[in-house]
């Protein structure tokens, strides 16, 4: 079974630029999560999708971050404009609808904002 | 109240020794407590998890001890191996929804 795929793996941008991350969850997983992991900290949930609907985006900085999950499969997370403090690893995870406690994480995208 | 406090920040153990990582929480509504293992350049992977109706769960060399009255839980790694060197995160959730992660413990096991 293929795992959660993410791209790109690394991205370096200047502040005020925009960036987008892509995630392909495990086949059949209805729930998809985006986490932000700042160096030295645990992952923090940004947004949770169930199929193509948003379940929780309470910690998503909506003035600059946006996410979508078209057709309930792949998802993209966008930051526009980026700030220095957005430097982090962005992790995508997915789970079965009836087993949301078992989340499978992708390798992450390491974003550096200079 | 939504925080999960984890300690120590880093841990150095000799091969064959016992590694112990502790976590504490405040929100008594939490009902699921997993531990994740993360290697450099990889995403976290679920290692072992426990619900508050049991005090201990063991899977191979990994054991979770849970103290509901103290609102604490810990991960014990018996016979620690160099391959166990990784960052470990405890987490907690309510009704298997949003996971709240601890700050992580970097474990180094020396041969």
Q: What ranges do the domains of chain A cover?
A: 1-6+18-85
Query: Least CB-CB distance to A101: which of B32, B42, B43?
Result: B32
Token readout for A86 is 């957005």
For chain B, domain boundaries: 4-110
Contact A100 B97 (CB under 8 A): yes
Cβ of residue A71 closer than 8 Å to a chain B Cβ: no
Q: What angle do CA B44, B21, B109 make, to 5 degrees?
A: 75
Inter-residue contact B33 to B91 (CB < 8 Å): yes
| Per-residue pLDDT reduced to its tens digit, B41-83 | 999 999 999 999 999 999 999 999 999 999 999 999 999 999 9
Inter-residue contact B66 to B30 (CB < 8 Å): no
Residue A1 has pLDDT above 80, yes or no: no
Predicted local distance difference test score (pLDDT) of residue B1 = 63
Predicted local distance difference test score (pLDDT) of residue B33 = 94
Predicted local distance difference test score (pLDDT) of residue A97 = 78
Instruction: Give the Cα separation of B16 and A52 in Å (integer).
Output: 47
Chain B residues in contact with A48 (beta carbon < 8 A): 97-98
Give the lowest-confidence range in A79-83, A101-105, B22-26: A101-105
Instruction: Give the Cα separation of B97 and B63 in Å (integer).
Output: 23
**Class in CATH terms, B4-110:** mainly beta
Higher pLDDT among residues B98 and B20, named by residue: B20
Share of chain A above pLDDT 90, in %: 87
Q: Compute the average pLDDT of residues A29-36.
A: 95
End-to-end, the C-alpha distance of chain A in Å comes to 37
In this structure, the number of other CB atoms found within 10 A of the CB of residue A39 comes to 8
Instruction: Give the Cα separation of A77 and A66 in Å (integer).
Output: 6
Chain A residues in contact with B32 (beta carbon < 8 A): 101
**Class in CATH terms, A1-6+18-85:** mainly beta
Say if strands B10-14 and B105-110 run parallel, antiparallel, or are unpaired. parallel
Chain B residues in contact with A41 (beta carbon < 8 A): 103-104
């Amino acid at each position: 079974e293929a795992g959660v795929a993410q791209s790109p793996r690394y991205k370096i941008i200047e502040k005020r630029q925009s960036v987008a991350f892509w995630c392909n969850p495990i086949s059949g997983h209805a729930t998809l999560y985006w986490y932000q992991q700042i160096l030295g900290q645990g992952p923090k949930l940004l947004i949770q999708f169930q199929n193509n609907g948003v379940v929780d985006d309470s910690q998503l900085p909506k003035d600059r971050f946006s996410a979508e999950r078209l057709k309930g499969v792949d998802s993209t997370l966008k930051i526009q404009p980026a700030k220095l403090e957005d430097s982090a690893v962005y992790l995508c995870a997915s789970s079965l609808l009836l087993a949301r406690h078992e989340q499978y994480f992708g390798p992450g995208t390491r974003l550096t904002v200079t | 109240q939504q925080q999960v406090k984890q300690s120590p920040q880093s841990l150095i153990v000799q091969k064959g020794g016992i590694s112990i990582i502790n976590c504490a929480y405040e929100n008594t509504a939490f009902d699921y407590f997993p531990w994740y293992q993360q290697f450099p350049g990889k995403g976290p992977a679920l290692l072992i998890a426990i619900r508050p109706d049991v005090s201990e769960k063991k899977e191979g060399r990994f054991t979770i001890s849970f103290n509901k009255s103290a609102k604490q839980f810990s991960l014990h790694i018996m016979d620690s191996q160099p391959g166990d060197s990784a960052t470990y995160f405890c987490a907690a959730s309510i009704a298997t929804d949003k996971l709240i992660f601890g700050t992580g413990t970097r474990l180094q096991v020396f041969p």
